[in-house]
Homo-oligomer: A and B are copies of this chain.
Amino acid sequence: MTNFLWKRRHIISLADFTPAEYENVLQTSVSFQGVLSRRTKKVPTLQGQVVANLFFEPSTRTRSSFELAAKRLSADTLNFSPGSSSLTKGETILDTAKTYLAMGTDLMVIRHRSAGVPATIAQEMDRLQAGVGVLNAGDGQHEHPSQALLDLLTLCNALNPEQPTIQDLQGKKVAIVGDILHSRVARSNLWSLTACGAQVHLAAPPTLLPKAFADAFAVPLRPEGSSAEAAITRRVYVHWQLSSALKDADFVMALRLQKERMSDHLLPSLREYHQRFGLTRDRIKHCAPTVKILHPGPTNRGVEITSELMDDPKLSLVSQQVASGVAVRMALLYLMGGAKHKTSSPITLEADRHL
């Protein structure tokens, strides 16, 4: 465990995450995978701490994953449900967050349909010197860091089950297929995959993948303390059809296609989308023989991917992604909780084993 290096109070975006930080999250997550393979899957790390899940946008999957991660760290959890909230009574989002702060929340996990809300709340917490960590669980079309980090863990586990490290991703080809433009999952994955040395190939119709979009991710990454020459070049490639994107790909990530894209006139029909960009047994043949498929879920079977591929355990990493999610979220809450209390000696999982 090398979490003594961890200095980030909030996790809002992966844009400036360094390889050392990815490695730290990865190794901490691997430790928690060890915890989760035991019969008693709990550690007392966050006992007496409060994790508030402020999901202004409804969610079952991600909220349950964070809730379970918090409970397995022995934290108490508070769930905010937008339907019955003070927001309908005219309260501002910042006032809602400050209310949860005043109740004694230690960590806030925030999802909102507008980009920037978690960042704004994090700034306000810092202005108030609250010592509270904010984790972005998806903000509009901006970012979804914990999803990209669980994808990272899933990829590294697949490449090197014994001793996964981000170096395993070096030079690997990852294709991301689907509604890139509107996807917070794609954005966060672009930052993480390129920082870890993978080459990312994006495939979508032009309406869902403007050329300028990909260019925005081509900025080099200069890890703290490194020289300009040591900067990591981010490798992103754009494809407006599927076959070249899939060619020799080590991994394919299908993105969820939201039905509202039809009414936005960005796509003619689901059927045409599936014909041109849906993953099928036939198209997968362009990929490397060892290719694995990921999907952040929930899946529209028969649109982004055929049912047959989804259910093929030799191809699909979808279940592994969900399982990785709990371990990664435990790791993130643990690292943020440790950063909060600035313990001089690192909190080790060894000590936690005595639950």
Residues of A that sit less than 8 Å from B by CB: 36, 38-42, 47-50, 58-61, 64-65, 67-68, 71-72, 76, 78, 80-81, 83-86, 89-92, 95-96, 98-104, 256, 259, 297-301, 318-323, 325-326, 341
Q: Contacts A60-B85, A90-B259: A65 and B298 contacting too (C-beta < 8 A)?
A: no
**What 4 A-B pairs come out closest when comparing CB atoms?**
A58-B84, A40-B48, A102-B322, A91-B298
A36 to chain B, nearest CB (A): 6
A297 surroundings in chain B (CB, below 8 A): 86, 91, 95, 99
A351 to B179, CA, bound (A): 55
Residues B86 and A84 in contact, CB atoms below 8 Å apart: no
Among A83, A298, A323, the most chain B Cβ lie within 10 Å of the Cβ of: A298
Residues A298 and B86 in contact, CB atoms below 8 Å apart: yes
> Which of B47, B104, B299 interacts with A323 by CB under 8 Å?
B104
Residues A104 and B36 in contact, CB atoms below 8 Å apart: yes
A186 to chain B, nearest CB (A): 17
A323 to B48, CA, bound (A): 16
A298 surroundings in chain B (CB, below 8 A): 86, 89-91, 95-96, 99
Residues B59 and A48 in contact, CB atoms below 8 Å apart: no
